[in-house]
Amino acid sequence: KAGVTQTPRYLIKTRGQQVTLSCSPISGHRSVSWYQQTPGQGLQFLFEYFSETQRNKGNFPGRFSGRQFSNSRSEMNVSTLELGDSALYLCASRSQRGAYNEQFFGPGTRLTVL
């Protein structure tokens, strides 16, 4: 079974631009979550999508948004990029929303904002 895939793996943008990251979950997984990893803050939860609906949201500004398609693939968008948005963005999928379900991570997208 193929794992979670993310594209692109690396991205360089300038302040004020917007960016869209993509995540394809493990086949059959319906829940996709997004995380931001920075050296100072560690892994922080952005949001979770399940059956095309946002089910949970972390404490990030509205510039961070996402969506999920009918095939469970998910995209995350960041508008008006700031230098502080430079981070590793990870997505993770699990088969159901239940807390006892393992969550599998993708390799991440490294975003650099100049």
**What are the residues binding other proteins (CB under 8 A)?**
3-4, 33, 35, 42-45, 48, 55-56, 58-59, 90, 92, 97, 99-108
Closer residue to other proteins (CB): 81 or 111: 111
Q: How far is the CB of 15 from other proteins (least distance, A)?
A: 27
Closer residue to other proteins (CB): 18 or 112: 112
Tell me the sheet residues that pair with 21. 76
Closer residue to other proteins (CB): 42 or 84: 42
Report yes or no: 3 and 90 within 8 Å, Cβ to Cβ: no
Cα–Cα distance for residue pair 114/107, rounded to 1 Å: 22
Tell me the sheet residues that pair with 32. 49, 93
Q: How far is the CB of 38 from other proteins (least distance, A)?
A: 11
Closer residue to other proteins (CB): 6 or 72: 6
Buried b (16+ CB within 10 A) or exposed e, 32-47: bbbbbeeeeeeeeebb
